Amino acid sequence: MNQTYLVVMAGGIGSRFWPFSRTQHPKQFHDVMGVGRSMLQLTVDRFRDICPAENVYIVTNRDYIGLVQQHLPELPAAQILGEPIGRNTAPCIAYASYCIRKRDPEAVIVVSPADHAVLREEEFRRLIREAIVAARQHPALLTLGIPPSRPDTGYGYIQYLDSAASRLPDTNLFKVKTFTEKPNLELAKMFVESGDFLWNAGLFIWRADVIIDAFHNYLNDIAEVFDEGVEQLGTPAEAAFIDEAYARCRNISIDFGVMEKADNVYVLHADIGWSDLGTWNSLHQVGTQDEQGNVTDGNVMLYDTRDCIVKTPHERLVVVQGLDGYIVAEHDNVLLICQRSEEQRVKEFVADAKSKKGAGYN
């Protein structure tokens, strides 16, 4: 019996990718990379040789259950866990972990976001297998850390202890010293220059019993909620219990609630061509650039244009002339033209569009 399980977190909206990512159709359900597969499908594909389909769980907002079923029609309904409201990653992971432990007390769980890019997939799979072996053998909370290529202020950072004594026995995993949320530029530069910080990829590996013990130790209020209702998981009473559970759970991330506090956290270096694809600039960085540094997806003709990203419907011819460093993105009823250097304003544009033009634009 394969006792490795995958939990894919697929409930976010991804508003920084507007207008492509929308409330009714978030980015994890789009072919962001232009390869004919959605981000959710690519994520599940990545684990196809690591865990069987019957061990794959998707946690998403209930509004998106139909979309998950469209994108992963082979997945039984029982493996799609619907959240009534968004409560960040800690309740999401607790929900899935309690379901899996009830089914298989010896389970090792890999937790992955649904919308990240991995360009070196074979290396990724090798490292995940290595981490799974370590998680089976040790009561540790494991995560992947990405060697930083630049002082990026959009990522969290992991500081680790680089010594033989700090290594998890018989592994290449190093003990984590600190987690730091998105730093300012000066701090990010110091982190990168020091050489003992990695980007936090938000990807975790642990045994079901180890993460549930961690909830009891560091987020006991959430653990108590799920302890009370564990018998209802996997039964017709599950949905009603989850409604009540989420009403009682805090909105808190697994990083802040558990990983920053636990003393059994280890990180594995993962040079895997990773990006969280959280912004248009991140898509520009991982995309295939032409000689002028442009990344395009659509029926596009460019003239005197450089360092742009253009993503538009394939059925519409788009001609761009004279732009330098712009985002041109069209989806459904919205066209966005924005300087790449100003992309942090996209959330402002979304809020303004909703308040001034109506809910049909967010």
Give the integer Cα–Cα distance in Å for 238 and 135: 29
Residue 88 and residue 151 in one domain: yes
Residue 232 and residue 296 in one domain: no
Model pLDDT for residues 269-310, shown as the tens digit of each residue: 999 999 888 889 888 988 899 999 999 999 999 999 999 999
- In SS3 terms, 236-293 reads as CCHHHHHHHHHHHCCCCCHHHHHHCCCCCEEEEECCCCEECCCCHHHHHHHCCCCCCC
Residue 248 and residue 337 in one domain: no
Residue 9 and residue 85 in one domain: yes
Residue 225 and residue 347 in one domain: no
What domain range is 309 assigned to? Answer: 280-357
Query: Does residue 312 lie within any of the structural domains?
Result: yes
- Total count of domains within the chain: 2
Residue 286 and residue 209 in one domain: no
Residue 323 and residue 236 in one domain: no
Single-letter residue type at 224? E
**Last residue of one domain, picked from the residues 258, 275, 292:** 275
Give the integer Cα–Cα distance in Å for 176 and 161: 6
Residue 157 and residue 298 in one domain: no
Pairing of strands 309-311, 295-297: parallel
Residue 240 and residue 335 in one domain: no
Model pLDDT for residues 67-118, shown as the tens digit of each residue: 999 999 999 999 999 999 999 999 999 999 999 999 999 999 999 999 999 9
Least confident of 3-12, 142-151, 160-169, 281-290: 160-169
Model pLDDT for residues 302-335, shown as the tens digit of each residue: 999 999 999 999 999 999 999 999 999 999 999 9
Q: Tell me the mean pLDDT in the region 198-224.
A: 97
**Last residue of one domain, picked from the residues 240, 275, 310:** 275
Query: Does residue 135 lie within any of the structural domains?
Result: yes
CATH number assigned to the domain comprising residue 80: 3.90.550.10
Q: Which residue has the higher pLDDT, 38 or 278?
A: 38
Residue 266 and residue 322 in one domain: no
Query: Does residue 362 lie within any of the structural domains?
Result: no
- In SS3 terms, 109-146 reads as EEEEECCCEECCHHHHHHHHHHHHHHHHHCCCEEEEEE
Instruction: Report the predicted TM-score, pTM, of the whole model to 2 decimal places.
Output: 0.92
**Last residue of one domain, picked from the residues 219, 246, 275:** 275
Residue 181 and residue 304 in one domain: no
Q: Which residue has the higher pLDDT, 13 or 202?
A: 202
Cα-based torsion angle of the residue sequence 17, 20, 25, 28 in order, rounded to the nearest 10 degrees: -60
Reply yes or no on whether the pLDDT at 1 is more than 70: no
Give the integer Cα–Cα distance in Å for 61 and 242: 12
Residue 115 and residue 182 in one domain: yes
Query: Does residue 169 lie within any of the structural domains?
Result: yes
Reply yes or no on whether the pLDDT at 25 is more than 90: no
